[in-house]
Amino acid sequence: MTRLTAPDLFEPGLFEGTGFYDVFAWYRANDPVSWQHPAGEPEGFWNVTRYHDVVSVHRDSTRMSSAKGMRLGSADRAVDAVANKMLIVADPPDHTRMKRVLNQPFSNEVLSRAEEYVQQVVADVVARAVRNPGPNLIAQLERIPTDVICAIMGLPRTDWEWIGRKTTEAFESPSEVRRITANGEIFKYFGDLVRENHKSGANAFISGLTAQNSGGARLTDQELVFNFSGILAGGNETTRFTLAALTLQLAEHPDQWARIVRGEAEPDVATEEALRWSAPGMHVLRTATEALRIGNVEVEPGQRVVTWIGSANRDAEVFDAPDTFDVGRTGNRHLSFGAGRHMCLGSRLARLEITAYLRVLRDMVRSMTLRGRPRYNGSNFTWGLNELPVVLHA
């Protein structure tokens, strides 16, 4: 009998390309819930790679905790400092209370009023990219989510560039020290802003959240500061990576671009495929609080469980031809925004921006040319392109 050798999900450089999708495919077929203890991690964890198993973990808020961290490589002291004070690392009842308040600025009613502004930001960025093509289109695309989320939060225009740069450092830097330092700078920035707003009331976004009293739910100043950082990351990093991945696929597959131009694939449908394909939030960590079963594996209390969104989004049991980028794919049940209680707070805003981008491209761009080698950031957490040498032609 041939012995199957498991590939290494933590091989250095694996996420600097797209070869990890073949590794995910191996695990889905041969070892869908596997134990691993890579070098550098204090303890081992279970890797979950199939779609339905990933969904079961995300929806189980009774036996799965987020308060002990939601990503590999996090420093324990940093997690402890924000646990149950920051939405992404909170469990009920704190998670329920915070989300009730933080959902308000991202409701359909509020975002419908922002739609015209989003469209204008996207049009300005695309027009500038067409007029002045640079060596890396991402340097221009990143303005879309940064400008939109900063405008929604009412932040001073002079601070937007700094905020975008610090958010990237806080969530993507390979250096733990730089990540912690950048997070500290962001926390201080918002701490000062919240304190000043108590005096002036000048920031409508902060004032609105401070005044929220839906069902008695309120946030402390510390919770506001911590969650503003999460809002920035959710509204910036992941959307930028999806816009970049979408652009690359359209440049590499002009037949798919032609379908959008001809109206055979609607922008809102193509948006869902861009989200499935890009999977910018590559993994999510949970910790078991009780014994439970995932697939054919018994998970013990205290053990960590890592769900791989990038793998679930390519599961052939759920998606037809999952390794094909199809702008007309319908019934697209991707997990790029997660599932269950921790469904991404900014999912509606992200969809609004990506759909607006596709509409503007359709109206302003004739074709796209790839003029170099795309490069990825190499992260197994917030994964995506950081160099995109694509030129947009008017």
For the chain, the straight-line distance linking the first and the last C-alpha, in angstroms and rounded, comes to: 59
Q: What pLDDT does residue 1 have? A: 33
DSSP 22: H
User: Which are the contacts of 200, defined by CB distance < 8 A and separation ≥ 6?
Assistant: none
Residuewise pLDDT in 10s, the chain (394 residues): 344 567 888 888 999 999 999 999 999 999 999 999 988 778 899 999 999 999 999 999 999 999 999 988 887 888 898 899 999 999 999 999 999 889 888 888 888 888 999 999 999 999 999 999 989 999 999 999 999 999 999 999 999 999 988 988 887 777 878 888 988 899 999 999 999 999 998 888 888 887 655 556 678 899 999 998 888 877 788 899 999 999 999 999 999 999 999 999 999 999 999 999 999 999 999 999 999 999 999 999 999 999 999 999 999 999 999 999 999 999 999 999 999 999 998 899 999 999 999 999 999 999 999 999 999 999 999 899 999 999 999 9
Query: pTM for this structure?
Result: 0.93
- Select from 262, 244, 281, 274 the least CA-distant residue to 380: 281
Domains and CATH numbers, the chain: 14-382 (1.10.630.10)
pLDDT at 359: 97
Residues β-bridged to residue 195: none
| C-alpha span between 88 and 338 (Å, rounded) | 11
